[in-house]
A and B are shown apart, each in its own frame.
Chain A
Amino acid sequence: AQSVAQPEDQVNVAEGNPLTVKCTYSVSGNPYLFWYVQYPNRGLQFLLKYITGDNLVKGSYGFEAEFNKSQTSFHLKKPSALVSDSALYFCAVRLEGGGNKLTFGTGTQLKVEL
């Protein structure tokens, strides 16, 4: 079975500082990995994905994520956090050849403070 873990329920960071939201995955084949963001009372928005190729993936709003196969991780990063980045972030995994089923992590609440 495929799964993702987001070990932190909440991450606090000061505006202007770099941020990292952690994600580790467990699949038996090649993973397709995704990050989504959810603002209050809104649906999820796609940020970025890794399918193959360069391990460093760049996405929307200045976010990037690094696929690390040996550590089975796909951490989300941003060099300089903004207050407007405060939201709930979800990591998700799809198994290659596994249809379109995404398995989501439990979410990490990011709070960026002035």
Chain B
Amino acid sequence: DTAVSQTPKYLVTQMGNDKSIKCEQNLGHDTMYWYKQDSKKFLKIMFSYNNKELIINETVPNRFSPKSPDKAHLNLHINSLELGDSAVYFCASSRRTSGITAYEQYFGPGTRLTVT
């Protein structure tokens, strides 16, 4: 009954490879996010989707491409991986409209990506 789940939990790959991370939420939320947490624990938003529509696209290399097949899923595909992409990637979801839990973001457990 995990609320926000991500796969895989760990990902070790070589430079130049292409990889994907998957995220699913069963909270009935309409907005999903990808965050990157670097080695200093600094957390920065990358993308946000609302009902499958991209609404936030921060300054992220275009090697990163999010895809939302439906509002419960948001995947992140990364092409031509570089050493600097090594980080923990978190998926999150929230309810965009008003209500008692509005704007509260719920995070997945993270995917630790290591590029060698």
Interface-side segment among A14-22, A74-82, A102-110: A102-110
Report whether B4 and A43 are in contact in the complex, using a CB–CB cutoff of 8 Å.
Answer: yes
Cβ of B31: which chain A residues have Cβ within 8 Å of it?
100
Interface of A (DSSP majority class): strand
Q: Which residues 26-41 in A have Cβ within 8 Å of B in the complex?
A: 32, 34, 36, 38, 41
Of A38, A51, A100, which is within 8 A of B55 by CB?
A: A100
Query: Do the beta carbons of B110 and A43 come within 8 Å of each other?
Result: yes
User: How many residues belonging to A are interface residues under a CB distance threshold of 8 Å?
Assistant: 23
Q: Is there an interface contact between B107 and A45, defined as CB atoms closer than 8 Å?
A: yes
Residues of A within 8 A of B (CB): 32, 34, 36, 38, 41-46, 49, 51, 88, 90, 94, 99-104, 106-107
A43-B45 contact given A49-B104, A51-B103, A100-B55, CB 8 Å threshold: no
Contacting residue for A102 out of B40, B105, B110, CB 8 A:
B105
Contact A43–B90 (Cβ < 8 Å): yes
